[in-house]
Amino acid sequence: METLLPYLALSMGLMSSFHCVGMCGPIALALPVHKGSRWQQVVGLLAYNGGRATTYALLGGLFGLLGSSFALMGYLRYLTIGAGLLMLAYVLWPANLESRLHPPRVWQQFVQTIKSRMARLLSSRSVAGWIGLGMLNGLLPCGLVYMAVVSSVATGSAMRGAGFMFLFGLGTVPAMMAVGFFKQWFTPTLRTRIRRLTPVLVAVAGIWIVMRGVLIQPPATGGVGHGTHTEIPICHKGIGQ
């Protein structure tokens, strides 16, 4: 099942990219690069989307590290199954989850700070500014990004978690690049039709993660206090005997 991770990440990113177009597309269209040459537009959009993918990778590494900690304690399989069930609940009962999960005030203030800094960077004409704008954009609340981050926990490794989320970010790039050049193609009808497929992919990912959790072997018990006795030779003869 390890070989399916890259495909799962890219597929989730690709399908959720049309949701990104609706949520983050206006930011991509507001970038000042659209006033420059075609080459400047390409560089600017790549820098912006590269910044988003970098933030996703950092989040994936953090949650992958969390998964590795649970693996050391022998609880990764339970965390993985729980993550998969949460994704299925997000698909089956989205309204119930949204009504029960209220972000704390501290998080709301953090989001407002992110938005304020993004507004200042929208006037930037440097590659560093566009990368920074994308990195901040990656921190904005998004249910589909949350589901992908939850999936990265199941990798059980900081490196694999970072790679998983970076591939997820790359999966969103084609649609985000296209909206910068062919915005007339992305009609509300098209976005709505493709967005309907997103819950299906999230459900498939949730089932896959639950199966992965079930297949994780619990750590073997042993050592002191776990029923394994090791005889230690003791010399009963005194010195000189």
Q: Where are the domains of the chain?
A: 2-215
pLDDT at res. 32: 66
Q: Which of 111-125, 144-158, 182-196 has the lowest mean pLDDT?
A: 182-196
| pLDDT (0 to 100) of residue 71 | 72
Digit-coded pLDDT (tens) for 162-201: 999 999 999 888 877 777 666 666 666 766 776 677 777 7
Say yes or no to pLDDT of 42 above 80.
yes
Cα angle 162, 165, 171 (rounded to 5 degrees) comes to 140
User: Is pLDDT of 114 > 60?
Assistant: yes
Residue 230: pLDDT band (50, 70, 90) is very low
Q: Taking each helix axis from N to C terminus, what angle separates 76-92 and 198-215, rounded to the nearest 10 degrees?
A: 160
Give the whole-angstrom CA distance, residue 45 versus residue 40.
8
CA distance 166 to 127: 20
Q: Is the pLDDT of residue 43 over 80?
A: yes
**156-173: string of b/e by CB count within 10 Å (b at 16+)?**
bbbebbbbbbbbbbbbbb
Token pair, residue 139, equals: 């921190």
Instruction: Tell me: pLDDT of 51 over 60.
Output: yes
Residues 6+ apart with CB under 8 A from 28: 45, 48, 176, 179, 180
Measured CA to CA, the distance from residue 20 to residue 40 in angstroms comes to 22
Does pLDDT of 53 surpass 60? yes
Q: Which of 44-48, 58-62, 154-158 has the highest mean pLDDT?
A: 58-62
Segments in the chain forming alpha helices (H): 5-30, 38-73, 76-92, 94-100, 105-121, 127-137, 143-153, 158-181, 188-195, 198-215
Predicted TM-score of the model (pTM): 0.74
Predicted local confidence at residue 28, as pLDDT: 67
Task: Specify the residue for token string 């992965």.
Answer: 212
pLDDT bin (cut points 50, 70, 90) of residue 102 is: low
List Cβ neighbours of 178 (8 Å cut-off, separation of 6 or more): 185, 186
Q: Which residues contact 64 (CB under 8 A, 6 or more apart)?
A: 152, 153, 155, 156, 157, 158, 159, 160, 161, 162, 164
Mean pLDDT of the chain: 76
How much is the average pLDDT of 31-39? 70
Confidence of residue 233 (pLDDT cuts 50, 70, 90): very low
Largest distance between two CA atoms of the chain: 97
